[in-house]
Structure 1
Amino acid sequence: MVAVADVRALARTLPRSTEHLVHDRVKFRVGAIVYVAFSRDEATMGFGYPKEERDALIAAEPELFFLPRASDLRFHWVCCHTARLDHDYMTELVTEAWRMVVPKFLARQRLGR
């Protein structure tokens, strides 16, 4: 199971990442762009993910991943159940969501090619 504290520890290591509390929801941003957000009860986590790939992600693991609410389908976003997410997978998902919102040179500095 992944908790906000786990994501916070990772996000603190990612350049330009900041944490915010918005309407009782923890969100991680780069500038004005949110790349990870938790539900109020922290049972679900939404994160940046390419729209064209999210249906395949959800189909591969429907017990873990699900679509965001209808009003958020226009964004590059997908959601997951934190109780079913392990730490290594969270690290991959959060890092890739961060990579989507930072300049390419910064992502290369942090992650390599």
Structure 2
Amino acid sequence: MSAALTRLRRICLALPEAEERETWDTPTFRVRGKIFCMALTEPLAIWVKAPRGSQEVLIAAAPERFFRPPYLGHKGWVGVNLTGRPDWAEVEALVRRSWSLVAPRALAARAGSAEPG
């Protein structure tokens, strides 16, 4: 297991009620059964849910780091390349935002929407 995947697991599983399940031969992170982050291992990347319009902005700003993932890209999800030296603060913020978009509203409200301060 790579150090990057270990770090990603720590970020994802620190969120309220988050759990990991392997699906489609890849780690997925869920809150109450709903996926908020998928980790792809070759090449190492994640897919996260993003607010409307964010996908286009991120890809336009840094196409070497962000991409439109297959299957979920048309729903606004964004792919994040984790090869090289990822910005872990940025990764954590994206994962937390995705969690807050997927988590039930009452849980997100109790958790302070899990948005970074």
When residues 23 and 40 of structure 1 are mapped into structure 2, their CA distance, relative to the original with a 3 A threshold, is farther
- Aligned-partner residue type, residue 26 of structure 2: R
CA offsets per residue over residues 58-90 of structure 1, 9 Å max, x none? 111111101112x32332311011024211111
TM-score (norm 2): 0.81
Q: Distance in 1 between matches of 2:112 and 2:43?
A: 28
Point out where structure 2 has 5 or more consecutive residues left out of the alignment: none
Q: Percent identity?
A: 27
- State the alpha-carbon separation in 2 of the partners of residues 13 and 109 from structure 1: 15
Question: Partner residue of 1:97?
Answer: 98
Report how many residues are paired. 111
1:26 equivalent to 2:20? Answer: no
Q: Alpha-carbon deviation of 1:107? A: 1.9
Corresponding position: 1:17 with 2:29: no
Unmatched runs of 5 consecutive residues or more in structure 1: none
Encode CA deviations 1:3-36: one digit per residue, 9 max, x unaligned: 1211211222211211011132011011332111
Partner-residue secondary structure (3-state), 2:74: coil
- Which of the pair has the greater relative contact order for Cα pairs under 8 Å at 6+ separation? 1
Cα distance, 1:42 vs. partner?
5.3
Provide the C-alpha distance between the structure 1 equivalents of 2:49 and 2:34, rounded to a whole number of angstroms: 10
Which runs of at least 4 in structure 1 moved beyond 6 Å after TM superposition?
none
1:92 partner letter: A
Query: Cα RMSD between the aligned structures?
Result: 2.1
Counterpart position of 2:78: 78
